[in-house]
């Protein structure tokens, strides 16, 4: 009897592995002989090969609206280093790093795209008030449905992606950064 149970478990595991492999192959498309990962939920039909959320991969082309209602895409900033920062108003470490981000934005040749995890906030208006109170002049993007946050698999707050001028993720940093660390990381990719 134990052999039958073991056999059934093994067959189920193999069946799931085959199903998972077939299902995940639907997320790729062949483009000039290279596999390209397509993330339709992020509206990215023209991604480069090697796109993903890990260090060394091209960062997915995020498309969100700012607090002022302007549509911004990560690819708009190609040619310049970008820090993609996931944050929330209720997160103490997120609040702590904002002055350093503002100082970096004011003094260095870097773009900062602060993606507010709006789906976790009390209100959109509260985020806008927070941005004004902290005098944040860099673009603050609103992830109102949480799609981008979920896609990037954000589990620690804040999380930052430091992206080089070609659009590749150089560093993924979980937790708050200070000004000196930001400068060091940017110095290594410029």
Q: Catalogue the E-assigned strands of 52-168.
A: 63-66, 71-73, 82-87, 111-116, 140-142, 159-163
Q: What is the pTM of this model?
A: 0.74
pLDDT of residue 8: 60
In this predicted model, what pLDDT tens digit does every residue of 147-186 receive, in sequence order? 999 999 999 999 999 999 999 999 999 999 999 999 999 9
Distance of CA 131 to the CA centre of its chain: 20
For residue 106, give the H/E element and its range. Answer: helix 92-107
Evaluate if residue 15 carries a pLDDT over 60.
Answer: no
d(CA 41, CA 39): 6
φ/ψ of 136, rounded to 5, equals -80, 115
């Amino acid at each position: 009897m134990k052999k039958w149970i073991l056999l059934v478990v093994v067959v189920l595991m193999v069946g799931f592995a085959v199903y998972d492999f077939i299902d995940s192959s639907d997320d790729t498309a062949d483009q000039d002989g290279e596999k390209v990962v397509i993330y339709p939920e992020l509206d990215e039909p023209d991604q480069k090969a090697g796109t993903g959320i890990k260090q060394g991969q091209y960062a997915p082309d995020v498309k969100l609206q700012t607090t002022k209602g302007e549509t911004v895409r990560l690819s708009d900033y190609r040619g310049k280093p970008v820090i993609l920062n996931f944050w929330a108003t209720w997160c103490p470490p997120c609040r702590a790093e904002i002055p350093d981000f503002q100082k970096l934005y004011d003094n260095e040749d870097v773009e900062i795209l602060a993606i507010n995890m709006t789906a976790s906030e009390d209100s959109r208006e509260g985020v806008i008030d927070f941005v004004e109170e902290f005098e944040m002049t860099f673009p603050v993007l609103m992830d109102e449905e949480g799609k981008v946050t979920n896609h990037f698999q954000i589990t620690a707050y804040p999380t930052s992606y430091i992206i080089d001028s070609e659009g590749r993720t150089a560093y993924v940093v979980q937790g708050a950064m200070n000004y000196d660390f930001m400068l060091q990381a940017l110095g290594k990719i410029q």
